[in-house]
Chains A and B, each alone.
Chain A
């Protein structure tokens, strides 16, 4: 941020120095003032660190079964208690952060890439390309998203990777529509007209001018989408269509625990809390970003 501000300031300008800041720096300034957004960012960073340093933090492995200590309540030895295989729930929740963040991030990245491509094509070229792509999006949005995800996983075969693919696919139309509408408005701007007039190639206009100028809403939507993607991954895991056996995916941990809900509630509470917290973190952060990046939200 600092650097870009400097760059902007390099050309000698007449206006007061304080006022001339890049839109990014301005956004960062208003983001910093938003307490909730900072809390959300804190939570997200916490879980990212948890995921990176899982082997150092977790006292046990993900599948260290010890039947002699099954279903034990939280204690000094096992902070979050043990599950029905005598595995340390704390360790599994910590490792589970890796899976959830991995699925959330990569699924959303996948949908952004494909969604942007399709959205740009639809918005920029219009006509039948637009109709075709938009109708496909309409069809996909007509399905309840989780049902579509279940169907896709059922076709591909249940596994974590396929769950990721399914989640990426169901989120494509959201990004596609978003980018299409951005492209529609940006392409009428004067600088694009100018670029066209100079004879710049379509691809260069698209990727050097239109795309960068449509980034802000995508970042906002992307952050919020990670939250939904994590929930969807957990839902698939809960239905037995996500991570397979020993993997400590939070949704799967919930499904395994539901039998012991009354007898050993900690088997459900901690994975549930983990899901809730990460989703909350991404949502707060995403809301903060929207407030900061959306020009209309400024007073």
Chain B
């Protein structure tokens, strides 16, 4: 009953928001149009409007794992270590240099001097310690990404002097520096955290190139230039506005009319038209994602390994790519993309073979097939621009081997929550890597520790778990890669998912935007972006 009322409520809200969206688009359009008109003449950096599909869930990156949140906070906060421009190599960030003890358990970081938070307070070792203690002291629900990445590994964080911090670990954590560079671990101003308390998620204060100005929920987040930014000459823009335009085609329209300057979530079928338009340009985000169909391992016929393998044989991935990704994607074999170190090339995919699939179903005792639910996500994601269409194609593939699938969809937050709790039979989902390490795909998505968390398929295998923990606890890169490769073989055999696709998400911008670099993690730094004069 509760769900039904929820749905009903949702339907009303939908109608309401459709109406409101109509109004706000118009007024918003005029306003920004006027603003960008005035930049042309003056020597200022101007206002960049970034159009995206969904609103941030929070402006405190530490309390979320959701990409739309990081997209904004990446420009307000900085991390101790920074990723490269378009890769996930580790580079100096708020820490200028670092040193590791021979046993790998002590890490000493030298911090950058003369950096100030937006509220004027100094960035120093005390501030770093304060942030880590805050995440550590908070409960698991609140800082759940911290808990899954560092939880019981960080023993102590100590300020050695004004500009030196020392981390002591319980065991070796191989991706330690990569984890430090992840957006959720941006360093916040201790004064602001204390001052705003519960309201900190809407009053972010960091050291980044832009300062927070205003957040109108489901409409826009406005950031303004940080005049005292420590990087000389940056940022180039005066103001950045992140606007929410849920519908892919409406967002593209807004770009066409100049209401927005950059958009993400471009339909692959629209890319050709954008490239043919001299006023526009396309950007590609280097691929660091995987789209999959989770086969919840604890439900009905899906408990059987043979059934899961049969479903793997049934899906024609290449036809999905041709139809819905305009070829800008490749079929996924393992749960992580090829660019991640430790990817196992030797693993062979279950080829598209309905006959083989039927045979396996017969062996498993489901000669006459069965009925299941197939969940399709209601929103476009970078790894899957149109979940419902992909679901319809997979439904047909399943029907060919006698499995009758009913397509089901919920509102996005409900969808994630229910799938996380194991209520879906099969569900479409995906993941964009946050630090480019194999650990951030395999352990996060498929370890038994993460059931009820990101292991939505509820896959459990002790042997795989042991391999993951071993790989976390050694710094020998070659050894780690060997362990992950081994794990991928076991995972392929168990078939907890149907890995579908690694895509190269497309973005588009007005032709006068320069210096924009789409980052593989999905959080783009906008400090170097400017308008061509």
Q: Which residues of A are at the interface with B, using a C-beta cutoff of 8 A?
A: 63, 65, 67, 70, 84-85, 147, 150-151, 154-157, 244-246, 256, 259-260, 263
Contacts and interface: CB of A to CB of B under 8 A. Distances in A.
Contacts of B267: 259
Q: Is the interface of B mostly helix, strand, loop or mixed?
A: helix
B388 to A, nearest CB: 8
Given A84-B389, A245-B407, A147 B15 contact: yes
Given A84-B323, A85-B396, 16 more contacts: A63-B399, A65-B393, A67-B316, A67-B322, A150-B11, A151-B8, A151-B12, A154-B7, A155-B4, A156-B4, A157-B4, A157-B7, A244-B406, A256-B389, A259-B249, A260-B269
B19 to A, nearest CB: 12
18 contacts: A63-B399, A67-B316, A67-B322, A67-B323, A70-B323, A84-B323, A151-B8, A154-B8, A154-B11, A155-B8, A157-B4, A245-B391, A245-B392, A245-B395, A245-B407, A246-B396, A259-B249, A260-B269
Contacts, number: 51
B180 to A, nearest CB: 42
Nearest to A245: B407
Contacts of B316: 67
Interface of B: 4-5, 7-8, 10-12, 15, 249, 267, 269, 316, 319, 322-323, 389, 391-393, 395-396, 399, 406-407
B15 A65 contact: no
B249 A246 contact: no
Given A67-B319, A157-B4, A244-B406, A85 B11 contact: no
Nearest to A260: B269
A45 B4 CA distance: 40
B382 to A, nearest CB: 18
A154 B10 contact: yes
B323 A63 contact: no
A161 to B, nearest CB: 13
Contacts of A63: 396, 399
B389 A244 contact: no
B392 A246 contact: yes
Listed residue (B4, B12, B319) with the most chain A CB atoms within 10 angstroms of its CB: B319
A85 B4 contact: no
A260 B269 CA distance: 9
A72 to B, nearest CB: 13
Contacts of B249: 259
Contacts of A155: 4-5, 7-8
A147 B395 CA distance: 31
Contact of B392 (A85, A151, A156, A263): A85
A210 B306 CA distance: 66
Nearest to A67: B319
A260 B393 CA distance: 17
B410 to A, nearest CB: 11
Nearest to B395: A245
Contacts of A154: 4, 7-8, 10-11
A244 B393 contact: no
A62 to B, nearest CB: 11
A47 B5 CA distance: 38
Nearest to B10: A154
A39 to B, nearest CB: 37
B395 A246 contact: yes
Given A85-B392, A154-B8, A263 B399 contact: no
Contacts of B407: 244-245
Nearest to B8: A154
Nearest to B267: A259
B272 to A, nearest CB: 10
A201 B322 CA distance: 71
Contact of B11 (A151, A245, A263): A151
A138 B407 CA distance: 37
Contacts of A244: 406-407
A260 B323 CA distance: 13
A175 to B, nearest CB: 26
Q: Which 7 A-B pairs have the closest CB atoms?
A: A67-B319, A154-B11, A154-B8, A245-B407, A65-B396, A67-B323, A154-B7
Nearest to A65: B396
Nearest to B11: A154
A263 B322 contact: no
B384 to A, nearest CB: 15
Contacts of B8: 151, 154-155
A239 B428 CA distance: 21
Nearest to B12: A151
A64 to B, nearest CB: 9
A259 to B, nearest CB: 7
A245 B4 CA distance: 21
B145 to A, nearest CB: 33
Nearest to A156: B4
A157 B269 CA distance: 32
A257 to B, nearest CB: 12
Contacts of A84: 323, 389
B157 to A, nearest CB: 50
A150 B14 CA distance: 11
A85 to B, nearest CB: 6
A151 B12 CA distance: 8
A56 B373 CA distance: 31
A263 B273 CA distance: 10
Contacts of B406: 244-245
Contact of B323 (A85, A156, A246): A85
A259 B399 CA distance: 26
A150 B12 CA distance: 9
A244 B395 CA distance: 12
Nearest to B391: A245
